[in-house]
Structure 1
Amino acid sequence: MNSDFFQFSPGAYLAPVVDWLNANFHPFFNAVTRFIETILNAIEASLLTLPAYAVIVIIAALSVVFVSLRIGIMAAIALSFCFVAGLWEASMQTIALVTVAVLISVSIAFPLGVLASRHKRLEAALRPVLDIMQTVPPWVYLIPAVMIFSLGRVPAIIATIVYGIPPMLRLTTLAFNQIPKDLVELGNAIGAPPRAILLKIEIPSAMPTLLVGLNQCILLSLAMVVLAGLVGAGGLGAEVTRGLTRMEMGLGLRAGLAIVAVAILLDRLSRNALHRPRAAAINT
């Protein structure tokens, strides 16, 4: 018997679905594209309009004021390396891509995580979906995104959003499940409205775990954005792809080190900038 009889080809079933989506939801996809491009262009303009040294000084100064002197020095060194390596524009494009993807991922994952912590059936329904999303190889997300949005930065951000949602959603649900019930009952006892309980009791209590989720979302988004250089996302991922296709070891090495510098910068800033206000509140 022909072995092809037992083979399953999901592409034969998915291709008509994608064609139907493109035919019937084209205005919606165009609106999503314009929305993402508008935000992305605004962030890129804010990073690339000023000279590189001015941006380095501003970011380092803000890091010193809002985080610490050590983080400010680290930020200056990381950004200076990206400039000296000749990858300043690509680095800023990568930071802009990560920023947009993380903002949208958190805006989707946080409310879903809060709802999942309150409704166990929703949490049970989301659990297998999140398992699949975190098991699928990252580059697989690029395929449907490119099929719907074509090549460019928008499919890269869409794929990054999908890849960055699971860790933030899981840890948001975990954070709210770990809130002591006594605190919530105390808020109800004094007659606090649900919004006040959420903002003044639940979110501050869940903040340590939420920060871990945000940190993981940022780092995974950076990894996905770099991989998205394969589909024309630009940034440091495009430089890595160019170095690989042209067998230029120097370019690939410089781009790889710039990615490490950006990753360290985003990791330290996200971790320390958000921990400091909490530590200051505890000390007072």
Structure 2
Amino acid sequence: MNLPKLPIGRGIEALEAWMEDQFGPIFDFIRIIIGSLVDFIHMALNSGPSLLMIALLTVLTWFLGKWKLASFALIGLLLIDNLGYWDNAMETLSIVLSASLLSIVIGVPLGILCARSGLIQGIVTPVLDFMQTMPAFVYLLPAVSFFSLGVVPGVIASIIFAVPPTIRLTNLGIRQVPGELVEAADAFGSTPNQKLFKLQLPIALPTMMAGINQTIMLSLSMVVISSMIGAQGLGADVYRAVTQTKTGTGFEAGISIVVLAILLDRMTQKMVNKNKRQR
């Protein structure tokens, strides 16, 4: 028995065309905001000579992780500069930081709402499952349709791909706050906001930071994929090396991405450990 094919593809394309017609000005506004954010971070990272920025980043990592992490930061960043990928690395870092920052701004409030309402959690969880299992390349198509080519659709695709861990672990961290402490806060007459900001969020912060760490890593993993739609940086170097079969160039750009990934991962982990010690 041959059943007719469900018109899912045509429906998605019709929805896409309708959204372009109805929300075009909103998409233009979002493109301007995200583009300005990326440009601002990129300008800040390139505000001085590369050696000066390396020194500042090394000092920052020393405060977080003492001499081991600072030594790796110094050697790794000097290697990136020596290979000639400093400007592209800073462009990549600006894209990753922009996507991560926006993911946190979106993910933390959604995670709090999920922790407060089982109904919202029941609605959001299947959406997160869909977002995490859909191939990342698929996100590039609507991003290009709504935001054209360039860095902005790359950031949007990165946000969609990377935001679920922040939502999930914010929700989990708040729900794991001991019930006795919540009951004690209620007994002392705490308002919901006081309970959230003075009790639940401080206790849940290590778990939330683990989600933010995953979000940053996932954003960085989208760098090469985003280069296919015009996002520049190290991902574009890797993509060009693949298309031109230049193994050495691809390896050099890949090493630069690895250095950034390790630095971002260790820095966020040190922030989590430092918070635990303070608690």
TM range, smaller chain: over 0.9
Partner of residue 260, structure 2: 262
**Correspondence list, 1:26-175, <5 A:** 26-175=24-173
Q: Which residue of 1 aligns with 2:191?
A: 193
- Residue type matched to 1:25 in 2? F
Q: Which residue of structure 2 lines up, in the alignment, with residue 237 of structure 1?
A: 235
* Aligned-residue RMSD, C-alpha: 1.6
For residues 212-254 of structure 1, what are the alpha-carbon distances to aligned partners after superposition, in whole Å with 9 as ceiling and x for unaligned?
A: 1011011011101231111111111101111011111111111
* Cα distance between partner residues in 1 of 2:23 and 2:94: 27
User: Is there any run of 5+ residues in structure 2 with no aligned partner, and where?
Assistant: none
CA distance in 2, matches of 1:183, 1:74: 41
What's the TM-score once normalised by structure 1's chain length? 0.93
Q: Which runs of 5+ in 1 are unaligned?
A: none
Q: Distance in 2 between matches of 1:156 and 1:142?
A: 7
Task: Pick which of 214-223 and 7-16 moved more.
Answer: 7-16
Summarize deviations over 1:10-47 as a string: whole Å, max 9, x none. Answer: 33222222222222211111110110111111100011
For 1:226 and 1:59, how far apart are their aligned partners in 2? 24
Residue identity opposite 2:224 in structure 1: V
Moved over 4 A (4+): none
The answer as to whether partners of 1:87 and 1:258 remain within 8 angstroms in 2 is: yes
1:179–1:202 CA contact under 8 A, matched in 2: yes
Deviation at 1:119, TM superposition (A): 0.7
Distance 2:40 2:272 in 1: 24
Q: Distance in 1 between matches of 2:160 and 2:209?
A: 19
Contact 1:109 1:168 survives alignment (8 Å): yes
The amino acid that maps onto 1:79 is L
Shift in Å, 1:8: 4.2
Contact 1:81 1:261 survives alignment (8 Å): no
Structure 2 contact 77–259 (Cα < 8 Å) conserved: yes
Task: Determine whether 1:250 maps to 2:248.
Answer: yes
Preserved contact between residue 206 and residue 272 of structure 2 (Cα < 8 Å)? no
Inter-partner Cα distance in structure 2 for 1:69 and 1:200:
33
- Relative distance call for 1:72 and 1:151 in structure 2 (3 A) is same
Q: Which amino acid aligns with 2:134?
A: V
The answer to which of 221-230 and 11-20 deviates more is 11-20
What is the identity, as a one-letter code, of the residue corresponding to 2:89? S
How many residue pairs match? The answer is 279
The one-letter amino acid paired with 1:74 is F
Q: Is the 8 A contact 2:224 2:234 kept in 1?
A: yes
> Which residue number corresponds to residue 221 of structure 2?
223
Letter of the structure 2 residue corresponding to residue 100 of structure 1: S
Question: What is the Cα deviation at residue 83 of structure 1?
Answer: 0.9
Residue 24, structure 1, aligned to residue 26, structure 2: no
Distance in 2 (alpha carbons) for counterparts of 1:12 and 1:65:
54
Deviations 1:97-123 (A, max 9, x none): 111111111111111111111111111
How far the C-alpha of 1:6 sits from its partner, in A, is 3.8
Looking at structure 1, the residues matched to 36 and 272 of structure 2 have their Cα atoms a distance apart, in angstroms, of 27
In the aligned structure 2, how far is the partner of 1:217 from the partner of 1:10? 30
